Amino acid sequence: MMQFEDASTPQTAPLVDPFGRHIDYLRLSVTDRCDFRCVYCMAENMHFLPKAEILTLEELDRLSTVFIDHGVRRLRLTGGEPLVRRGIMTLISSLSRHLESGALDELTLTTNGSQLSRFAADLSACGVRRINVSLDTLREDRFRAITRWGRFEQVLDGIESALAHGIKIKLNVVALKGVNDDEYDEMIRFCHERGMDITFIETMPMGEIDFDRTDMYLPLSDVRKALQGSWTLSPSHHKTGGPASYVTVEETGGRIGFITPLTHNFCESCNRVRITCTGTLFMCLGQEDAADLRKPLRQSEGNELVINAIRQAIDRKPKGHDFVIDRKNNRPSIGRHMSVTGG
């Protein structure tokens, strides 16, 4: 197993915010780059960050390890597209030592699936048991229109490859009015036939894109109502530690999740924080407040400065988010792109 120099600090007090929420889930963006340009996520011409600003693989490992040493039990790598980061398997392989030691319950990622055929075997060997794959349509022409640069076959092959290596998949589908809202039944069937869960997500007002996002916004309450016409949905108590609420489809035995940041406030149970690939800690996806961890990380070889910065930031974790789709001004309520904080 590839391993970076161990930056373990002795286990100290866990990270608890002012509302008593234990921070045990970290989402870490490993790159702001992506091989797709999904229309709701990125503009076609994006300015990516210079390399010096991005944490190195060693720094990503060190920072993750600090969080794990202070009670984080689940780590999700995201991006941009995590699997296009050069050397990503070195990082994942190194982080897998925390699964082996029992310090971490889960090491997982959110991916667009394009590189899964290449990496499924290695991911499985590193103890990755479950991943989220984002796919908004099963029609090739629509896929091209949504992702701009994506290759549909490559994603389908990637999904099959991950499943063949025993990796469980949850498909994330962004609900897009007038774009994919006529194919949810088909997508549910596709997923449940393969033993995959499916989760619908509302578009979030994050980052400037090339057109008006309010046109695509589809409340999941409408999606749920429409699905009830085709399927028998029973409430499910299934929890993944994430913000989705689940129902079971009686006809298939599979599950559907709904992530409704705009129509439902899921903040009370928020146990997570996010770090960008530049080492900026966001205590809430829907707020601008953040803390720079790169500076304390680079300032000293020991971890005291960085853990102090983390604790100060967690002390400011807000109670909830401020998302609004602002129809009047047609501006995103959060200026940064989802690909910066990784969703």
Interface positions with ligand SAM (CB under 6 A): 34, 40-41, 78-79, 81, 110-112, 134, 172, 174, 201, 203-204, 206, 338-339, 342-343
The residue within the footprint of ligand SF4, chosen from 60, 61, 64, 79 (CB under 6 A), is 79
The nearest distance, CB 161 to ligand SAM, in angstroms, is: 16
Closest CA to 102 of 124, 73, 62: 73
Dist CA 121 CA 336 (whole Å): 34
Part of the chain binding ligand SF4 (CB under 6 A), chosen from 77-85, 197-205, 241-249, 291-299 = 77-85
* Of residues 64 and 114, the one with the C-beta less far from ligand SF4: 114
* Of residues 134 and 161, the one with the C-beta less far from ligand SAM: 134
**What are the C-alpha distances in Å from 72 to residues 16, 24, 26, 64?**
11, 4, 7, 9
**What are the C-alpha distances in Å from 131 to residues 67, 82, 112, 196, 235?**
21, 12, 10, 10, 23
The three-class DSSP label of residue 47 is coil
Binding of ligand SF4 by 171 (CB under 6 A): no
Dist CA 261 CA 322 (whole Å): 10
Q: At what angle do helices 184-193 and 220-228 cross, to 10 degrees?
A: 70
The entry of ligand SAM, ligand SF4, none that residue 296 binds, CB within 5 to 8 Å by partner kind:
none
Q: What x/- string results for residues 13 through 52 when contact with ligand SF4 is judged by CB under 6 A? A: ---------------------x-xxx--xx----------
Q: Which residue's structure tokens are 């129902």? A: 247
The nearest distance, CB 209 to ligand SAM, in angstroms, is: 8
The three-class DSSP label of residue 51 is helix
The nearest distance, CB 11 to ligand SF4, in angstroms, is: 34
Instruction: Collect all residues with Cβ–Cβ distance below 8 Å to 201 and sequence separation of at least 6.
Output: 172, 173, 174, 175, 259
Task: Read off φ and ψ for residue 176, nearest 5 degrees.
Answer: -125, 115
Q: Which residue is nearest to ligand SAM (CB)?
A: 343
* Of residues 24 and 32, the one with the C-beta less far from ligand SF4: 32
The entry of ligand SF4, ligand SAM, none that residue 204 binds, CB within 5 to 8 Å by partner kind:
ligand SAM
The entry of ligand SAM, ligand SF4, none that residue 172 binds, CB within 5 to 8 Å by partner kind:
ligand SAM
The nearest distance, CB 132 to ligand SAM, in angstroms, is: 7
State the virtual CA torsion across 60, 66, 70, 75 in degrees, nearest 10.
Answer: 20
Which residue ranges make up the site for ligand SF4 (CB under 6 A)? 34, 36-38, 41-42, 79-81, 112, 134, 339
